[in-house]
Structure 1
Amino acid sequence: MKIILTQEVTNLGTPGDVLEVKDGYGRNYLLPQGFAIRWSKGAEKQVSVIKRARDAREIRDLGQANEVKAQLEGLKVSLSVRAGDGGRLFGSVTPAEVVDAVAAAGGPKLDRRRLEMPGHIKSTGGYQVSVKLHPEVTASFALNVNAAK
């Protein structure tokens, strides 16, 4: 099956890439999740639009990625969420909440899809979160999840 990626998929490609994947993987995972669209001559014309949108939000080069990495690694990120007795959260911490917490702490604006969370965060405490800034640069920072009063 020939597809065009609309979002970054780990170990597969970036938005705008035209790929050949197995039929089941494309039909059962990539298309329903919105990670890709079927390839057609009309969809091929959308590739330039997808690539322009990706370039607008992507970190430009390795030097800029290293600057953002240095900024992130020196950052203390704290997130207050509703929790019950024993530090158990009502729900879990989402990547969007982590991105907002980084921005509130004075950090750079990040893409939530590039966050690599340590599983589902469902209790208070300290966690290590990493961000893939560039194909060669990955930054990690400490996230402290507190119970809101």
Structure 2
Amino acid sequence: MQVILTKDVEKIGRRGDIVDVSRGYVRNYLTPRGLAEVATPGKLAEAQHQMEEAEERDRRLEERATEIAATLNKSVITIEARTGEDDRIFGSVTAANIANSIKGARGIHLDRRRIKLPEPIKTLGTHTVSVQVHGDVEANVKVIIVPKL
């Protein structure tokens, strides 16, 4: 019997998938828990339409992410930091600082968790920081830390 999953079901499929399962499994487990609905021709057409819309939305997001990555790859971000003896920074430059600087310089809002910084930057100079824009799309941003005057 074909059903359309309304939620992810372990070992069966993900939300929106059309799967073949036994009638008893549908009647006793999937339907009572609201995990699936029987696949009628109308619901199959609706599910197909929703999957096409989701694919189109993902394609547009991927294109936008590629454009953002191209912009970020060309970007050089300068961050001023207070320094002490031997040009060491008081504190450190974190992913949140870098995200705020990118937003200010390029107008691109990035979540700080998408900036891959193994450890906070504690020295002056040029650093290359990896940013996960979307899915598999990554960009490298050149960050220059200069002393605050």
Shorter-chain TM range is: 0.5 to 0.7
TM-score between the two structures when normalised by the length of structure 1: 0.57
Amino acid at match of 1:131: V
Q: What is the CA–CA distance in structure 2 between the aligned matches of 1:63 and 1:97, rounded to whole Å?
A: 27
Q: Which residue of 2 aligns with 1:90?
A: 90
TM-score between the two structures when normalised by the length of structure 2: 0.57
Instruction: Show structure 2 runs of 5+ residues with no match.
Output: 1-7, 11-59
8 A Cα contact 1:130 1:141, kept in partner: yes
Corresponding residue SS for 1:61: helix
Q: What is the CA–CA distance in structure 2 between the aligned matches of 1:83 and 1:90, rounded to whole Å?
A: 6
Corresponding residue SS for 2:106: coil
1:112 equivalenced with 2:112 (yes/no)? yes
Q: What is the CA–CA distance in structure 2 between the aligned matches of 1:107 and 1:73, rounded to whole Å?
A: 15
Residue 107 of structure 1 and its aligned partner are, at CA, apart by 4.3
Q: Which residue of 1 aligns with 2:64?
A: 64
Amino acid at match of 2:120: H
Q: What is the root-mean-square deviation of aligned Cα atoms in Å?
A: 2.5
Residue 94 of structure 1 and its aligned partner are, at CA, apart by 1.3
1:99-138 maps to which residues of 2 (within 5 A)?
99-138=99-138
8 A Cα contact 1:71 1:107, kept in partner: no
Residue 106 of structure 1 and its aligned partner are, at CA, apart by 2.1
Corresponding residue SS for 2:101: helix
Q: 117-126 or 90-99: which moved more?
A: 117-126
Residue 118 of structure 1 and its aligned partner are, at CA, apart by 4.3
Q: What is the CA–CA distance in structure 2 between the aligned matches of 1:98 and 1:136, rounded to whole Å?
A: 21
Greater Cα radius of gyration, structure 1 or 2: 2
Runs of 4+ in 1 over 2 A off after TM superposition: none
8 A Cα contact 2:95 2:120, kept in partner: no
Q: Write 1 or 2 for the structure with the bigger share of helix.
A: 2
Amino acid at match of 2:109: K
Amino acid at match of 2:136: E
Q: What is the CA–CA distance in structure 2 between the aligned matches of 1:139 and 1:85, rounded to whole Å?
A: 33
Instruction: Show structure 1 runs of 5+ residues with no match.
Output: 1-16, 20-59
Amino acid at match of 2:68: V
